[in-house]
Amino acid sequence: MEKARPIKVALIGNPNTGKTSLFNQLTGLTQKVGNYPGVTVDKKEGTCKLPNGTAATIIDLPGTYSINPTSIDESIVLKSLLNTDDNNHPDVIVLVADIENLKRNLLLFSQVKDLEIPIVLAINMADQQERKGIFIDLKTLEKELQTEVVLMSARKHEGITEVKEAIERAAQVEKGHPLCSINHKIDADYFKLLKEVSPNHTLYELWLMITQNNYPNQLTEEEKIKLQEFRQDLSKLKRYQHKETIHRYQQINDILKRTYRVDQAKAKNLRGRLDRVFTHKIFGYVIFFGILLLIFQSIFDWSSAPMDFIDGAFASLSDFVKEQMSPGVLTDLITDGIIPGIGGVVIFIPQIAILFLFVAILEETGYMSRVVFLMDKIMRKFGMSGKSVIPLISGTACAIPAVMATRTIAGWKERLITILVTPFTTCSARLPVYAILISLVIPNKKLFGFFSLQGFVLLCLYVLGFATAIISAYLLHKTLKVKNTSFFVAEMPNYKLPSLKNVFFDVLEKTKAFVFGAGKIILAISIVLWFLASNGPSSFDTVEKNIVENTQNNALSADEMQHKIASAKLQNSYIGIMGKAIEPAIKPLGYDWKIGIALISSFAAREVFVGTLATIYSVESGDEDTSTIKERMRAEVNPDTGEKRFNLAVGMSLLIFYAFAMQCMGTLAVVKRETKSWKWPLFQLFGMGALAYVAAFITYTIFS
Partner 1 sequence: MDTIASLLIGEVGIITEDALDNIPLKLLEMGCLPGAEVVILQIAPLKDPLYICVNGSHLAIRKEMAAQIRVVKSE
The verdict on whether residue 18 carries a ligand-binding annotation is yes
Using CB under 8 A, which of 266, 276, 445, 545 touches partner 1? 276
* Stretch of 129-137, 318-326, 491-499, 628-636 contacting partner 1, by CB under 8 A: 491-499
Instruction: Pick the closer one to partner 1 by CB: 18 or 343.
Output: 18
Exposure b/e, 513-537, CB count within 10 A at least 16 = b: bbbbbbbbbbeebbeebbebbbebe
The verdict on whether residue 536 carries a ligand-binding annotation is no
What is the smallest separation between the CB atom of 415 and partner 1, expressed in angstroms?
16
* Stretch of 273-281, 344-352, 668-676, 694-702 contacting partner 1, by CB under 8 A: 273-281
CB atoms within 10 A of CB 174: 6
Q: Does 488 bind partner 1 (CB under 8 A)?
A: yes
Using CB under 8 A, which of 238, 261, 268, 273 touches partner 1? 238
Bridge partners, residue 58, by sequence? 9, 46
- Compute the residue count for the chain: 704
Q: Give the integer Cα–Cα distance in Å for 161 and 611.
A: 51
What is the smallest separation between the CB atom of 669 and partner 1, expressed in angstroms?
31
The verdict on whether residue 517 carries a ligand-binding annotation is no
- Residue 398 DSSP SS3: coil
Indicate left, alpha or beta for 214 from its phi (over 0: left) and psi (-120 to 50: alpha).
beta
* Stretch of 77-85, 164-172, 366-374, 510-518 contacting partner 1, by CB under 8 A: 366-374
Q: Does 265 bind partner 1 (CB under 8 A)?
A: no
Q: Does 236 bind partner 1 (CB under 8 A)?
A: no
Cβ 655 vs Cβ 694: under 8 Å: no
307 closest CA partner among 345, 341, 350, 339: 350
* Residues near 390 by beta carbon (within 8 Å), at least 6 away in sequence: 359, 368, 371, 372, 405, 408
Exposure b/e, 310-347, CB count within 10 A at least 16 = b: beeebeeebeeebeeeeeeeeebbbbbbbbbbbbbbbb
614 closest CA partner among 318, 340, 428: 340
Using CB under 8 A, which of 135, 289, 320, 487 touches partner 1? 487
Q: Give the integer Cα–Cα distance in Å for 259 and 237.
A: 33
Q: Give the integer Cα–Cα distance in Å for 66 and 14.
A: 8
Q: Does 456 bind partner 1 (CB under 8 A)?
A: no
Q: What is the DSSP letter of 605?
A: B
The verdict on whether residue 550 carries a ligand-binding annotation is no
The verdict on whether residue 20 carries a ligand-binding annotation is yes
392 closest CA partner among 405, 411, 383: 405
What is the smallest separation between the CB atom of 267 and partner 1, expressed in angstroms?
11
124 closest CA partner among 146, 143, 98, 106: 98
What is the smallest separation between the CB atom of 146 and partner 1, expressed in angstroms?
22
What is the smallest separation between the CB atom of 519 and partner 1, expressed in angstroms?
39
Q: Does 135 bind partner 1 (CB under 8 A)?
A: no
Indicate left, alpha or beta for 665 from its phi (over 0: left) and psi (-120 to 50: alpha).
alpha
Q: Give the integer Cα–Cα distance in Å for 24 and 360.
A: 15
For partner 1, the binding residues in 406-425 under the rule CB under 8 A are 410
Instruction: Pick the closer one to partner 1 by CB: 107 or 342.
Output: 107
Q: Give the integer Cα–Cα distance in Å for 510 and 591.
A: 36
Angle at 466 between CA 461 and CA 471, to 5 degrees: 120
The verdict on whether residue 63 carries a ligand-binding annotation is yes
What is the smallest separation between the CB atom of 360 and partner 1, expressed in angstroms?
22
What is the smallest separation between the CB atom of 249 and partner 1, expressed in angstroms?
6
* Stretch of 274-282, 327-335, 646-654, 661-669 contacting partner 1, by CB under 8 A: 274-282
Q: Does 101 bind partner 1 (CB under 8 A)?
A: yes
Instruction: Pick the closer one to partner 1 by CB: 163 or 374.
Output: 374
Instruction: Pick the closer one to partner 1 by CB: 55 or 378.
Output: 378
* Stretch of 63-71, 127-135, 190-198, 400-408 contacting partner 1, by CB under 8 A: 63-71
- Residue 294 DSSP SS3: helix
The verdict on whether residue 91 carries a ligand-binding annotation is no
* Residues near 393 by beta carbon (within 8 Å), at least 6 away in sequence: 292, 295, 359
Using CB under 8 A, which of 241, 365, 562, 647 touches partner 1? 241
Using CB under 8 A, which of 27, 31, 66, 618 touches partner 1? 66
Query: How many residues line the site for partner 1 (CB under 8 A)?
Result: 42
Using CB under 8 A, which of 80, 351, 369, 428 touches partner 1? 369
- Report residue 158: phi and psi, to 5°: -110, 135
Using CB under 8 A, which of 159, 176, 284, 432 touches partner 1? 284
What is the smallest separation between the CB atom of 283 and partner 1, expressed in angstroms?
10
Q: Does 373 bind partner 1 (CB under 8 A)?
A: yes
Q: Does 271 bind partner 1 (CB under 8 A)?
A: yes
Instruction: Pick the closer one to partner 1 by CB: 46 or 386.
Output: 386
Instruction: Pick the closer one to partner 1 by CB: 138 or 246.
Output: 246
Q: Does 475 bind partner 1 (CB under 8 A)?
A: no
Helix (H) or strand (E) holding 166: helix 160-172
Cβ 59 vs Cβ 45: under 8 Å: yes
What is the smallest separation between the CB atom of 273 and partner 1, expressed in angstroms?
12
The two most distant CA atoms of the chain are separated, in Å, by: 105
* Stretch of 239-247, 388-396, 508-516, 574-582 contacting partner 1, by CB under 8 A: 239-247
DSSP sequence for 323-368: HHSPSSHHHHIIIIIIHHHHHHHHTTHHHHHHHHHHHHHHHHHTHH
Q: Does 258 bind partner 1 (CB under 8 A)?
A: no
What is the smallest separation between the CB atom of 385 and partner 1, expressed in angstroms?
9
The verdict on whether residue 15 carries a ligand-binding annotation is yes
For partner 1, the binding residues in 32-61 under the rule CB under 8 A are none
Residues of the shown chain interacting with partner 1 in the complex, contacts defined by CB under 8 A:
65-66, 68, 70, 100-101, 103-104, 107, 238, 241-242, 245-246, 249, 271-272, 275-276, 279-282, 284-285, 369, 372-374, 376-378, 386, 410, 487-494
Binding-site sequence positions for GTP: 13-20, 38-42, 60-63, 124-127
Extract the annotated binding site for Mg(2+).
24, 27-28
Binding residues: 13-20, 24, 27-28, 38-42, 60-63, 124-127
